[in-house]
């Protein structure tokens, strides 16, 4: 083979490699193709629990910052790595979460246990003292991924699963008490009010189930899939749907009270204060609505989508945009002000404790902001 032939063969090989490389890089490194997680935080007895993007439960002592955060063992993924060490469904490129179990739901604390659900289709109960696993559901095998968060009430845990079912477990033992099948997968976290559990499904329906046995009380049909968490307030359920509406539904009989259309999905659970609803939309606006009629009082254009659940600190509602700009809305005057810009993506729910807002970012950090002054404190690392 002479030099020219070698060059030609080399060029052919280069062409093939270029096609492969462009295909992989172009398709793999797209934001949002790999599950990463956006767990919020829960504070109990001065300790904040959060599911990190490394697939661990992390416990941070808020009272004593000198203590190093405690972490659980890493959750075990169910899929083997595919091409170049990445999950096949996560693209061939560089998804950060491809070999880690994403955690979307906020941890729940009850008694001496803390619970999380993983994208690997398992629910874990940890001892609060040492973050050792007490029980796992299912004990063998895995269910479909959990995106929904857990809710605890009267010794029972409730969660929706991507396999379209709602599960009720004994919170002490992890035994299944009942399950209820919907028509499509469930990503939304349930809400409980009294003896009724409310949960939305991709099948476009909001369900009201009996907490005791999982029997359906009623269902309410929207025109789009539902993945947001219902907000229950004074006998009314407020929930966003993929048809761009925020619905107010009577909690007793599931009848529509009113609906309000935004420019995009109401992804996150809204906040309510003094019978006023504060609903962030992916259209980049926060809508301020009267809880009883849905009448718009005001709207704020935040210039970036709002996907994280807001928190109420004192008499202010704190919102974060996906681009990491933090706003505070005064509930009295309905004025808005930007209090901080953490310059990182924010998708998960905000957590507030003693005037500090905690934001779990995709950089494996917990950002801390003083809600009143907007002062940014040094972030807490969530690395295990």
Judged by the rule CB under 8 A, the positions of this chain that interact with another protein are: 1, 4-5, 8-9, 12, 15-16, 19-20, 22-24, 26-27, 30-36, 38, 82-83, 88-92, 102, 104, 147, 187, 202, 223-225, 227, 242-244, 263-265, 267, 282, 305, 307, 347
The dihedral built from the CA positions of residue 186, 188, 189 and 193, taken in this order, carries a sign that is negative
Give the C-alpha separation, 58 to 351, whole Å. 15
Question: Cα separation of 48 and 282, whole Å?
Answer: 28
The pair of structure tokens assigned to 341 is: 């810009």
Burial profile 93-115: b = 16 or more Cβ within 10 angstroms, e = fewer = bbbbbbbbbbbbbbbbbbeebbb
Strands 176-181 and 191-193: unpaired
- Smallest gap from residue 185 Cβ to another protein (A): 9
User: Rounded to the nearest whole angstrom, what is the least distance from the CB of residue 207 to another protein in the complex?
Assistant: 18
Please report, for residues 142, 201, 368, the alpha-carbon distance to residue 174 in angstroms, rounded to integers and kept in the order given: 14, 24, 34
Q: Closest by alpha carbon to 219, among 209, 210, 228?
A: 209
Q: How far is the CB of 188 from another protein (least distance, A)?
A: 11
Q: What is the dihedral of CA 273, 347, 199, 256, to 10 degrees?
A: 50
Shortest separation between residue 173's beta carbon and another protein, angstroms: 29
Rounded Cα gap, residues 156 and 173, in angstroms:
10
Q: How many CB atoms lie within 10 A of CB 264?
A: 15
Length of the chain: 384
Q: Which is nearer to another protein, 15 or 133 (CB)?
A: 15
Please report how close the Cβ of residue 24 comes to another protein at its closest, in angstroms: 8
Give yes or no for a contact between 93 and 27, defined as CB atoms under 8 angstroms apart: yes
Shortest Å distance, C-beta 356 to another protein: 26
Q: What is the largest CA-CA distance in the chain?
A: 84
Q: Are 152 and 186 in contact (CB under 8 A)?
A: no
Is the Cβ of residue 89 or residue 173 nearer to another protein in the bound state? 89
Quote the CA–CA distance of 149 and 53 in Å, as a whole number.
15
- Closest CB to another protein among residues 247, 353: 247
């Amino acid at each position: 083979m002479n030099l020219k032939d070698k060059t030609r063969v080399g060029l052919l090989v280069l062409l093939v490699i270029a096609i492969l490389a462009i295909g992989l890089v172009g398709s793999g490194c797209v934001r949002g193709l790999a599950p990463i997680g956006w767990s919020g935080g829960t504070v109990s007895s001065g300790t904040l629990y959060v599911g990190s993007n490394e697939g661990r439960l992390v416990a941070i002592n808020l009272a004593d910052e000198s203590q190093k955060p405690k972490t659980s063992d890493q959750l075990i993924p169910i899929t083997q790595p595919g091409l170049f060490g990445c999950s096949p469904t996560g693209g061939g490129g560089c998804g950060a979460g491809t070999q880690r179990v994403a955690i979307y739901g906020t941890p729940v604390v009850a008694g001496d246990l803390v619970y999380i659900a993983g994208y690997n289709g398992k629910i874990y109960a940890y001892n609060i003292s040492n973050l050792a696993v007490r029980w796992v559901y299912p004990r063998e095998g895995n269910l479909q991924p959990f995106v929904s968060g857990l809710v605890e009430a009267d010794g029972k845990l409730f969660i929706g699963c991507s396999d379209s079912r709602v599960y009720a477990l004994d919170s002490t033992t992890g035994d299944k008490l009942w399950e209820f099948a919907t028509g499509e997968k469930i990503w939304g976290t349930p809400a409980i009010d009294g003896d009724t559990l409310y949960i939305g499904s991709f099948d476009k329906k909001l369900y009201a189930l009996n907490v005791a046995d999982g029997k359906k009380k009623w269902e309410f049909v929207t025109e789009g899939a539902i993945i947001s968490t219902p907000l229950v307030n004074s006998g009314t359920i407020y929930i966003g749907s993929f048809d761009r509406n925020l619905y107010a539904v009577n909690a007793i009989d599931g009848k529509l009270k009113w609906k309000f259309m935004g420019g995009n999905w109401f992804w996150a659970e809204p906040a309510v204060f003094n019978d006023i609803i504060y609903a962030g939309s992916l259209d980049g606006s926060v809508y301020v609505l009267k809880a009883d009629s849905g009448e718009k009082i005001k709207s704020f254009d935040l210039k970036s989508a709002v996907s994280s659940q807001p928190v109420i600190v004192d008499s202010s509602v704190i919102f974060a945009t996906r681009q990491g700009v933090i706003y505070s809305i005064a509930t009295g005057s309905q004025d808005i002000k930007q209090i901080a810009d953490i310059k990182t993506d924010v998708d998960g729910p905000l957590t507030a404790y003693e005037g500090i807002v905690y934001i779990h970012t995709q950089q494996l950090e917990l950002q801390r902001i003083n809600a009143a002054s907007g002062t940014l404190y040094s972030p807490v690392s969530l690395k295990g």
